[in-house]
Structure 1
């Protein structure tokens, strides 16, 4: 092989996009805003900042720091106060530990450092100006299991109040945070950087690869010149070996980008209705469909889409999102699982909150749209979307 000629072919920077057009300036700015890396404040740091600003004694600060360090990720304290008193170096009285804990429970976020759900909710109610005698506090303190099962009629009888008052009280409770530490994370929050852009130009969709993260690679001209010089066979062999490895790396990156472009272009062809109209039009698609379309093996398609994201007119999606199973539709057609999930979400969003629809009834409604789906499948999809069953969606006015 003529390595000098091969090196010349790869001497230019490898940093070009595959596609028929580039993202517009607006799209570039929009993507730049989306691709931000932020680090959230940790819950212990947030609480320690408040502890340092409080008028505690040195011993109380030591106790407070120990309590804060003992909270779980949701902001709850699972350790006994006697254990705190024993483990803190200064050996404080339990009364001091109780006093410090009560102060920390006034910190932000509301409900933090509670020893259970009921205590956390009561703390939050107190911070809203609702004391222990208020109806929401009575429900949380004495009837929390009954509230969770949404037995409003029984609650009204037990509390000897009209059911309308119970409904109003549950509305207040429903806005409280059951996990006070939820908004604080110990991990970086990463906004996805799209690997490929899909834009509509005229009546067609154009695929453009995002090469911002790719290094500029080329074979050094220094080594090309050395090949032309008279040197020892060992030196020439060494240079040729390294140039072969460099050329292979450049070619591999180019091939990987080419495969990503081909796979995305095929997905765009299959999922055009989704790009036009949204998730309700997402069609069933499997790896084999794309593999056959572009003449590659399924495993190649799988590797090409792993961890890759596409920025589309409908939002940014992981490429594997576009591969979805199917259910039988009318006249022998098929509908995607994702589009069925969206239909279930829409049906529940439109239901009468006083008479929520059962999974069986939702299955029957979908059946009228020629979608063959079992009740248990509706339940599975509903759970995957984080939607409660009908017994827990019911509201009383």
Structure 2
């Protein structure tokens, strides 16, 4: 075999994201609070970047800055006469230092002070979790060591709703006796909130209903009465009331234990027939079941309150709406002049010069990207304001369909750029605070030949269902026909899809039977 080296020329095109471009994409997607955190982190990591305090500018400092600028100009002129030039000096930093060196790069006055600022009530302490709440209760109980360990094993396997989803083999070791497992589960079932430790919805509701049953029985016992009516009893209004409530709770227990599927389908008539009970008692029992908590753990597993601060505002000035960026509280940045002088000193070591150069490049790239982020958001919002005038005047009913692709074409950028510009960002309007993505939605053929946003279509579907006769709920065909009658051209499949998106049950499940 004859092996000889060969040289081939191959031409190809590849898209390569530079570090600066990657940072630009990342900065664009940040909201105001996230951008503030990022800037603070960059200030810590990059000594070339400085934050300017609002009250740090005195007359002496301003005079000193003017002197520094004059000396810097002389140094530059002197270096230009030298035969050896540093490639770094060929970069035009003039415009950047003019804006970012002194007196500092800061947000322009945006008159955003007219809007309410977040109060300290929005900053909440860490809430108690379900696990903390249950372990605190167990700690106050006198339990044998092996029983306490078994109880804690159960608590460690509860989900956010308070349900026990793990199998016994996953919770306990093979040596744990069955009796000990049952005792541990009984302890958990007695803890607050009632219903934790249940395997499913039926057991969760039963635990709460049986606890109510026990309370009523104990109350009757305190009166020296029994749950059953004794002919020899003297009339007692309070005892009679307790017995009536007990009957309702007992009926609720029977419904949950044996007929929960009929309850989900709201088939009251069949439940009455199977229980051989009075219709009124069954209705009251169902009303009691609705007071029970199907997810008892959620009250202690609340997510932390999310602080929302608008990135932009649509403010009416005269007869027009204008876009105002909210740059309040964002750090004002400048480039450190001391490091610049270090670069122009011949005695500075090469390693130090290289490090400072790299830090300057990084700082200027960040300042560019912050400015680019602002420009992109403002241009995008300008289009939103121009297209959503009716919303700004009338509210949601005036919303118009608008696609991200259309806005991108109008401002001359890729749709992904607009998508990042509106991601996780909020706007303050006269109609309230809205996420910027709220203004983007597809449309269907609405009345008078105009497009109707899907948001309003869903709103109309929901309103029709809320106003329907619960004994004769509207089918998807009926909803479609009514919308078409109003001039909204939509198919049955579309109506069914958006009804399901709003988690509205089907006609069969909405029907209320006598």
State the TM-score bracket (shorter-chain normalisation). Answer: 0.7 to 0.9
CA distance in 1, matches of 2:122, 2:415: 30
User: In the alignment, which residue of structure 2 is the partner of 1:14?
Assistant: 105
- Quick check: 1:126 aligned with 2:210? yes
Equivalent residue runs for 1:142-181 within 5 Å: 142-181=258-297
Using the TM superposition, give the Cα deviation of residue 211 of structure 1 relative to its aligned residue in structure 2, in angstroms.
2.6
**Cα displacement string for residues 185-236 of structure 1 (whole angstroms, at most 9, x for unaligned residues):** 3864433333223344565434332335644321111123335544579576
CA distance in 1, matches of 2:299, 2:363: 46
**Aligned partners of 1:18 and 1:261 also within 8 Å:** no
Equivalent residue runs for 1:1-397 within 5 Å: 1-3=91-93, 6-11=96-101, 12-17=103-108, 19=110, 21-24=111-114, 27-29=115-117, 31-32=118-119, 36=123, 39-79=126-166, 86=173, 91=176, 93-129=177-213, 134-185=250-301, 188-200=304-316, 203-212=319-328, 214-230=330-346, 239-240=356-357, 242-396=359-513
**Aligned partners of 2:266 and 2:513 also within 8 Å:** no
CA distance in 1, matches of 2:256, 2:441: 43
**Cα displacement string for residues 1-54 of structure 1 (whole angstroms, at most 9, x for unaligned residues):** 4435642332143331575x3241xx333x346864664432211211111123
Specify the SS of the correspondent of 2:309.
Answer: coil
Q: Which deviates further from its counterpart, 321-330 or 159-168?
A: 159-168
Specify the SS of the correspondent of 2:333.
Answer: coil
Q: Say if 1:83 and 1:262 are closer, same or farther in 2 by CA, change over 3 A.
A: closer
Q: Say if 1:83 and 1:301 are closer, same or farther in 2 by CA, change over 3 A.
A: closer
Specify the SS of the correspondent of 2:299.
Answer: coil
CA distance in 1, matches of 2:318, 2:284: 53
**Aligned partners of 2:267 and 2:513 also within 8 Å:** no
Using the TM superposition, give the Cα deviation of residue 257 of structure 1 relative to its aligned residue in structure 2, in angstroms.
1.2
Structure 1: tracts of 5 or more residues without a match:
none
**Aligned partners of 2:122 and 2:305 also within 8 Å:** no
Q: Which deviates further from its counterpart, 64-73 or 2-11?
A: 2-11
**Cα displacement string for residues 250-305 of structure 1 (whole angstroms, at most 9, x for unaligned residues):** 12111111211221232122223223333332210011332244343333212212
Specify the SS of the correspondent of 1:76.
Answer: coil
Q: Which structure would you say has the larger RCO, counting Cα contacts within 8 Å and 6 or more residues apart? A: 2
**Aligned partners of 1:197 and 1:312 also within 8 Å:** yes
CA distance in 1, matches of 2:296, 2:258: 21
Q: Which deviates further from its counterpart, 290-299 or 46-55?
A: 290-299
CA distance in 1, matches of 2:321, 2:271: 57
Structure 2: tracts of 5 or more residues without a match:
1-90, 214-244
**Aligned partners of 1:324 and 1:338 also within 8 Å:** yes
CA distance in 2, matches of 1:34, 1:367: 48
CA distance in 1, matches of 2:166, 2:412: 60
**Aligned partners of 1:135 and 1:169 also within 8 Å:** yes
CA distance in 2, matches of 1:46, 1:291: 50
Using the TM superposition, give the Cα deviation of residue 355 of structure 1 relative to its aligned residue in structure 2, in angstroms.
2.9
**Aligned partners of 2:470 and 2:512 also within 8 Å:** yes
CA distance in 2, matches of 1:57, 1:396: 52
CA distance in 2, matches of 1:203, 1:33: 35
Q: Say if 1:242 and 1:65 are closer, same or farther in 2 by CA, change over 3 A.
A: closer
Instruction: Give the length in aligned residue pairs.
Output: 390
